[in-house]
Amino acid sequence: MTMQRTCLLLGLFSIASVVAPLVAQRPYTAADKQHDRSLFVSDAAVPPTLAQRIGHTDPSKYHRSRSHNSAGDMACELLVPPTAMDVNLNFMHRCQIMPGGGVGHHFHNNTEEMFIIFDGQAEFTIDGRTSVLKGTVGAPVRMGHSHAIYNPSDKPVEFMNINVGAVKGHYDAFNLNDPRIGVTKDPIPVFMTMQLDRSTLTPIENYHGGKGTVRYRRALDSDVFLTNWAYVDHLLIPPGASDGLHRHKGVEEIYYVLNGDGQVQVNDETAEIHKGDGVPIRFNEAHSFTNNGKADLELMIVGISAQKNVLDTELGAIPKRP
C-alpha cells in the first residue's frame, strides 16, 4: 500500500470518527464515505482540482440529528473535512438549529471550537453561564470548558461549528446530559464572543498587493485559544477590488464566504465562489480573492498554524527554480 493511499485511509477514518459523535442517530455510511472521498481524492489518486476542493453549503445534504443529548434536532453537513488540511482541523460543519433544538452541554478536553451564529439569535452557554447571542457572532471555546447552544425560537437558526484538535485526528467529548432549557440568562455574556460587524472594519489600500481598497479587521487572535488556532479575520472586498496573491509557509486557512460572489485563485487555478462556500488553503499555496460580482464580497478567514504563535505572510507566487 502506498504512503499516499495509507494517508487517504487515515484521513477517511478521521472523518468518520469526527462525524459519528455529532450525528449519533445516523451512522456514517459507506455511501457517505465515498461521497466525501470523491470530493477530495479521485480513485486514480489524481489531486483534486481547486473547484473540487471547495465545500458548498447545501441544505439538501444536511444530516438531521440530536447532538450531545440535546432536547431537539439540528442538521449539518461536513463543509470542510480534516482531509482538506494538513493542520489539526477536525471539521468545519455548516448547520441549522431547528426550533427547540441545539447542542447539549458538553466538554472537549483535547479540542477547541467555535460556534458562529449567522442569523437570528440563540442561547449560548459556557461553563454553566448562558446569554442570548444575536448573529453574526461567534463564541470561541477553549479546551476544558463546557458549552452548549439552544434555539428557543420558532424558526431555524443558521450556524457553523469549527473544531481544531491539540493532536491531528483526535476528537473527544464528555456529555453532561443537560440541554440547557429554561435556564437563567446573563444580560451581558461572561465569556468571550467574536463580533463580525462591518462597521468595525478598517480600509486598506492594495491589500497584499491587490487592487482597490478593501476593509479588514482581525476579529480574534491566537491568544484566545490554547491550540494552534491562529486567527479569525473579517474581510470585505468591494466590486472590482481584490486581496492580492500571497502565501503562508506556516499557516493554513479556510475562507468562508459570508456574502457575495467572486473568484479565488490558488497557484495556477481559478474557481468561482459564492455565499456559503468554504475554501481550504494549504501551506505555501499562493492565493488571492477577487470580487467580480456586483455586491460586496464578505469573507471570514480561519487561520490554523503549524506552530503556536508562529505566523507568516509572503507576497506573490512561489519563486520558480531556474
Q: pLDDT tens for residues 13-43?
A: 344 334 434 433 344 344 444 444 444 444 4
**Low-confidence residues of the chain: pLDDT under 50:** 1-44
Distance between CA atoms of 53 and 51, rounded to whole angstroms?
Answer: 5
- The residue to which cell 499555496 is assigned: 285
Task: Output the pLDDT for position 201.
Answer: 98
What CA dihedral angle connects 270, 272, 274 and 276, to 10 degrees?
-50
pTM beyond 0.75: yes
Distinct helix (H) and strand (E) counts, the chain: 3, 24
Digit-coded pLDDT (tens) for 219-272: 999 999 999 999 999 999 999 999 999 999 999 999 999 999 999 999 999 999
Instruction: Give how far Cα 18 sits from Cα of 28, 128, 165, 201, 216, Å.
Output: 10, 25, 11, 34, 32
Cell of 81: 473535512
